[in-house]
C-alpha cells in the first residue's frame, strides 16, 4: 500500500451540498488530517477496511433502496445472471448486522469478503 490517507464525506452534510472542498481527509486511524468538518460516523469502519484489505482503494457505502431492502432479508443475492458472475464472481454475500459508529461494520465487511474473495461487494444485514 502506498497511501495512508482516505477522503470521506463529512458527517451530517447532505449529498446535494457536497463539494470537493467540503470532504474530510483522514489517516487510516480515522484522525482528521485536512478539512473543517467532522468526518462521517462510518470513518472507523472505512479505515478498518483500508488497513485490513490493502488491495482496496475505494469504498462505496450506499443505502440504495434495493440494497437496503435485500439486506433486510439477511440473505445473499444469488448469482442468477451471467453478468453477475462476471462482475461479482458469484453471489453477493451478506455480512452480519453490526452497529454503526465504530470499526464493527468494517470488521464485518472484511470477515465476509475473506469468505467470498471473488466478490467486490457485500451487503450488511439490516443495513444496506
Ordered per-residue pLDDT tens for the chain, 128 residues: 557 999 999 999 999 999 999 999 999 999 999 999 999 999 999 999 999 999 999 999 888 999 899 999 999 999 999 999 999 899 999 999 998 889 999 999 999 999 999 999 999 998 87
Residue 115 near residue 126 (C-beta atoms within 8 A):
no
- Total domains, the chain: 1
pTM (2 d.p.): 0.90
CATH label of the domain that carries residue 25: 3.40.225.10
Sign of CA dihedral 111, 112, 116, 121: negative
Rounded distance between C-alpha atoms, residue 5 and residue 49, angstroms: 13
**pLDDT computed for residue 101 by the predictor:** 86
Region of 100 on the Ramachandran plot (φ > 0 left; ψ -120 to 50 alpha; else beta): beta
| Helix (H) / strand (E) containing 107 | helix 104-115
Domain that holds residue 60: 5-124
Amino acid at each position: 500500500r502506498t497511501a495512508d490517507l482516505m477522503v470521506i464525506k463529512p458527517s451530517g452534510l447532505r449529498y446535494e451540498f457536497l463539494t470537493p472542498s467540503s470532504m474530510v481527509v483522514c489517516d487510516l486511524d480515522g484522525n482528521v488530517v485536512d478539512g473543517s468538518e467532522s468526518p462521517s460516523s462510518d470513518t472507523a469502519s472505512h479505515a478498518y477496511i483500508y488497513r485490513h484489505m490493502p488491495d482496496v482503494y475505494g469504498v462505496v457505502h450506499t443505502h440504495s433502496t434495493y440494497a437496503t431492502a435485500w439486506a433486510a432479508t439477511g440473505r445473499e443475492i444469488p448469482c442468477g445472471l451471467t453478468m453477475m458472475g462476471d462482475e461479482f464472481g458469484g453471489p453477493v454475500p451478506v455480512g452480519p448486522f453490526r452497529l454503526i459508529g465504530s470499526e464493527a461494520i468494517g470488521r464485518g465487511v472484511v470477515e465476509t469478503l475473506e469468505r467470498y474473495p471473488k466478490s467486490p461487494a457485500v451487503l450488511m444485514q439490516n443495513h444496506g
